[in-house]
């Protein structure tokens, strides 16, 4: 047997491949130690129906991570297709992210953005090591959605718009999953 050849993991190709999986875009918010936080995230996903759980992950390098870990509630603001500027604003490390941004106060202290496609108000459920990210799992306490608003889509490093087809997907989650 020859020496074991280790192929370098191609991070750029990995990112490119991950970009083939489109997501929506959220601004997840919270208030911790009297500071308002908001971060654009594509890592939001559904996790459990009963109990109602969702997840998102935050980069360990984020300066605000220690504050996020202290938050007693979060709001997941699912952006509508006309909210790309809000997405870009909350994707930057700016100290004045909230300047000129209208918001309402959520029940757990997390700011709620107007004009969104949906909002989920949550409390912490669990946090896990997620490699270079921290995985947050949260329990949904209340939510609302505007079905007439189309969601903003993110894929291949760009924003996209959703185009529906006439094909209906099977009901999911299927009973067979349980």
Ligand X SMILES: Cc1cc2nc3c(=O)[nH]c(=O)nc-3n(C[C@H](O)[C@H](O)[C@H](O)COP(=O)(O)O)c2cc1C
Binding site for ligand X (CB under 6 A): 25, 39-43, 57-59, 62-64, 90-91, 93, 154
Shortest reach from residue 39's CB to ligand X, in Å = 4
Given its phi and psi angles, is residue 97 left (phi above 0), alpha (psi -120 to 50 degrees) or beta? alpha
Q: How far is the CB of 169 from ligand X (least distance, A)?
A: 24
Measure the CA–CA gap between 106 and 30, rounded to whole angstroms: 9
Considering beta carbons, is residue 59 or 81 the nearer one to ligand X? 59
**Is residue 143 classed exposed, middle or buried when 0-12, 13-18 and 19+ CB atoms within 10 A define those classes?**
middle
CB of 94 to ligand X, least distance (A): 7
Residue 60 near residue 24, CB atoms below 8 Å: no
Least Å distance, CB 121 to ligand X, is: 19
Q: Of 108 and 154, which CB lies nearer to ligand X in the complex structure?
A: 154
Other Cβ atoms within 10 Å of 135 Cβ, number: 15
CA–CA dist 83, 102 (Å, integer): 13
Is 19 or 52 the residue whose CB approaches ligand X more closely?
A: 19
- Residue 174 is given by DSSP the state -
Nearer to ligand X, 2 or 100 (CB): 100
Closest distance between ligand X and the C-beta of residue 59, in Å?
4
In terms of C-beta distances under 8 Å and separation of at least 24 residues, what long-range contacts does 93-96 make, across chains too?
A: 93/63
The smaller minimum CB distance to ligand X, of residues 25 and 78, is found at 25
In the complex, residue closest to ligand X by CB: 43
């Amino acid at each position: 047997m020859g020496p074991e050849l280790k192929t370098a993991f191609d991070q750029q190709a990995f990112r490119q491949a991950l970009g083939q999986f489109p997501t929506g875009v959220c601004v997840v918010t919270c208030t911790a130690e009297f500071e308002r936080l908001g971060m654009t995230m594509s890592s939001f996903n559904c996790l459990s129906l009963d109990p109602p759980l969702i997840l998102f992950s935050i980069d360990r390098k984020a300066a605000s991570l220690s504050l996020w870990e202290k938050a007693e509630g979060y709001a997941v603001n699912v952006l509508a297709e006309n909210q790309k500027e809000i997405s870009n604003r909350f994707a930057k490390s700016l100290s004045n992210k909230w300047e000129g941004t209208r918001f309402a106060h959520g029940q757990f202290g997390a700011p709620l953005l107007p004009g969104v496609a949906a909002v989920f108000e949550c409390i912490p459920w669990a946090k896990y090591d997620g490699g270079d990210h921290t995985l947050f799992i949260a329990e949904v306490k209340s939510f609302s959605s505007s079905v007439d608003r189309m969601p903003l889509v993110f894929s291949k490093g760009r924003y996209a718009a959703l185009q529906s087809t006439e094909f209906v997907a099977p009901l999911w989650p299927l009973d067979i999953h349980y």
